[in-house]
Each structure stands twice: as structure tokens, then as C-alpha cells.
Amino acid sequence: MSLSIGIVGLPNVGKSTLFTALTKKTGLAANYPFATIDPNVGIVDVPDSRLQKLADIVNPGRIVPATVEFVDIAGLVKGANEGEGLGNQFLANIRETDAICEVVRYFKDPNVMREVGRTGEFVDPAGDADTIMTELILADMGTLEKQLPKLEKEAKRDKELMPKFEVAKRLLAWLNEGKRAASMEMTDEERAAAKGLFLLTMKPILYVANVDEDMLNEDLAPIDGVKPLPICAKIEAELSELDPEDAADYLESLGLEQPGLDVLAQAAYKLLGLQSFFTAGEMEVKAWTVRQGATAPQAAGVIHTDFERGFIKAEVIGYDDYVELGGEQGAKAAGKLRIEGKDYVMADGDVVHFRFNV
């Protein structure tokens, strides 16, 4: 399952520094606007302590974590919806992602330009976030204004398309009030229709506060009703260059339990509405990614499409039972191995073995 999160923000907020540390790739991080033009893409492991506990039981050849794709998208500027700062290209890059991770500048650094006429000491997180949201809203309004005439004609010919036309009209009026599309109340039918409009402000949004080191434990005010994750990109960049033992010592000296990037990867996974199920054997222990609410056949299809088509049953053990009882044999002896059919909805952490016809 390939799902991606676009990292966005105004120029010089630390997006590329964060991305480089996050993906441990050599990305371009520079102190001037539009240093990133073409988006960089990186696959990031989702830290999950349950994998090691499963591995301690079955002693596999390897451990394979779940992953999330991050896309480093160039800095947006005011007027991006009208093409300012190559805005149209960047907005198109955002449109192709499944969710948005917005980096907001909280750090103060006179050596890093904020914007023309403003020194690096000046920060305005709420104003910066509002600038980005305004550009996304204006871009969505432009999208709807272009689509509505065509949608109206199609709805007159095919009444089944009327819900899409009606929700598009409502959304345009809503956006015109400065509100993002996802916050409008919609029925399940309307929300399904709205997905086909490909609006930027329908995407889930996660805010990252790029803070100075002394702000890591501060209780930051919500942005658009969402608590931002405080991360110091400078520290994360330093951590990414250290070996695991030195990185652990550095974290301890900072009073942190885990890197901020681990927290970000986990938050991104949840933001996308994802969960993991596990397969465990001598060859490997692996976390597989499914959407929350996925059925057993859909989960089997993540491993191989043939498994979904030929699904017969799933042998399921809850994670806690698997660990407590020492693995499959212990769980089976205790009556904790369940046989589930096509209607079974996967739970986060299920340890599964599928049976299928090929």
C-alpha cells in the first residue's frame, strides 16, 4: 500500500532539513527560497516496538517495518494559487499526495531569512499557517470554479451525478468564507462525492512546529484546532548523523525518550488512517499496512492480490496473546488462535496466517 504525505511550508521553515533527517537521504537544504523545486521523495520506516518482541519469540532472518512515503515539496508563498513562486507546480505536487504535513517556523535565527523585509528573529506561526491555508483554499476555489460548469451539464444528463454537483456548489460557498473543505458537515454520500473533486483542503493535515531546543517541552497552542508536534529539525539532523549508541546518549542528555522524527512517522501513519498487522515466521517478522476497518480478505490482498481473490480464512492471534503465550503454539494450546472469515475486520496488531486458493 503506497500512501504519501507532502511536507509543505513557507520558504526557510526547515522543511528540507527535516526531510533529510527523516529519510536519512542527502537532500538539498539551503538558506534561500525555492531551494527545492522538484519534490524529493523518501520512504520512512514507522517505528514499532512490537516488531522486536515478535522477533524475540520466532528469531526471524529479518525484521521488516511498515513504511510511509514523505514528499518534500518546495516552499509556498503568498500568491501561489496565482502562480507566484512557481506556485502552480507546487500545488500540483501537493494534490498528488494523500495528506499534508505542514512545517511551521517557531525557531528564531537571524541568519536564516524569513521573508523579504523581515529578520530571522521575527516569527509568526499562526500567521504563517494562515498564509498556507489561504493559498490552499484559493486554489480549491479555482478548481471548483473550473469544474462547476461541466458538473452542471453532466448532472442534467445523468441524475446520479447531481449529488456531486450539489456538494461542489456548497463547498465553493464554504471555501469562500475562508474555511477548509474538510471542516464542512457532509453526509457519507456527499463526502464520497467530494473525494472526486480532488480538493487540497479535503486532505488530512498534520502540523509540525520547528522549534528551538529550549522549546521542545513547551505546550504549544493549537493551529486550526490541531496540536502541532514540536520538533527541532536541527537536533534531528544531528541525530541522523550519529550511530545508534551515540544517538541514544544524545537523546538522554536532552531528556527525550525518542527522536521527534519517530513521533512524526507514527503520527503520519495514524493521520492516514492506517494500522498494522503482522506475519511472523523463521524467514521474517513483518508489519503490513492496511486502512483502519479493512477486512481479512483486503488485508490478504496487501500481501498479494491473488490472496484476496482466493481467500478462504484467516488464522488470527491478537498481539498481546501472541507475546504473553510465547508464540503460535502457545496461543493455539490456550485457545487464543481464532479462525476468521471474509467479514472479519482486522484489528491493529493482529498476528495472521492466511489460507487461500490459488
Q: Using the Cα atoms of residue 208, residue 213, residue 217 and residue 221 in order, give the sign of their dihedral.
A: negative
Give the pLDDT band of residue 209 (cuts 50, 70, 90). very high
Is pTM beyond 0.75? Reply is yes
H helices of 158-220, in order, are 162-175, 188-195
324-342 pLDDT tens trace: 999 999 999 999 999 999 9
Q: What residues contact residue 42 under an 8 Å CB cut-off, 6+ apart?
A: 19, 22, 23, 25, 27, 69, 70, 72
The runs of H, that is alpha helices, within 116-203 are 125-157, 162-175, 188-195
Summarize the confidence of residues 17-25 as an average pLDDT: 79
Whether residue 320 has pLDDT greater than 90: yes
| Closest CA relative to residue 102, chosen from 79, 130, 78 | 130
Residues 350/317, Cβ–Cβ less than 8 Å: yes
Q: What is the mean pLDDT of residues 196-223?
A: 92
Q: How far apart are CA 122 and CA 108, in angstroms?
A: 7
Q: Over the stretch 36-87, which tens digit does the pLDDT of each residue have?
A: 334 578 888 899 999 999 999 999 999 999 998 888 886 665 654 454 444 4
CB 22 within 8 A of CB 42: yes
The yes-or-no verdict on residue 303 having pLDDT over 90 is: yes
Report pLDDT for 217: 86
